[in-house]
């Protein structure tokens, strides 16, 4: 099952009694602020939830599976890393292990 932004808005609206548009605006502004902070290279720390930060992936050489004799240079690039907080990690550990 996938939880979408729309699902979050509906659930919060039902729990709080606020209009869905109000909840949507707050959720969207929150996500916008997180994105803006990361775009500036800042770390975003949400206590008991987790930490978002920018990490730079090293340059490396890749292979094209259709033409394995050809090396493809992959440049270094920034990417977003998420590390879950303690409470989230403990909740996830309660899930049963399922083979993929």
Share of the chain above pLDDT 70, in %: 98
Per-residue b or e along 8-40, where b marks 16 or more CB atoms closer than 10 Å to that residue's CB: ebeebbeeeeeeeeebbeeeeeeeeeeeeebee
Per-residue b or e along 82-100, where b marks 16 or more CB atoms closer than 10 Å to that residue's CB: eeeeeeeeeeeeeeeeeee
Q: What kind of fold does domain 43-95 have according to CATH?
A: HU Protein; Chain A (4.10.520)
Q: What is the pLDDT of residue 70?
A: 87
The mean of the pLDDT values for the chain is 93
The answer on pLDDT for 78 being more than 70 is yes
């Amino acid at each position: 099952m996938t939880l979408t932004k729309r699902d979050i808005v509906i659930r919060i609206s039902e729990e709080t009694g606020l209009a869905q548009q109000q909840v949507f605006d707050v959720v969207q502004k929150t996500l916008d602020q997180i994105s803006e902070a990361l775009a500036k290279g800042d770390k975003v720390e949400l206590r008991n939830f987790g930490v978002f930060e920018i990490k730079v992936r090293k340059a490396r050489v890749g292979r094209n599976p259709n033409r394995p004799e050809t090396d493809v240079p992959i440049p270094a690039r920034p990417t977003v890393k998420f590390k879950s907080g303690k409470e989230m990690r403990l909740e996830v550990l309660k899930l049963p292990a399922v083979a993929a």
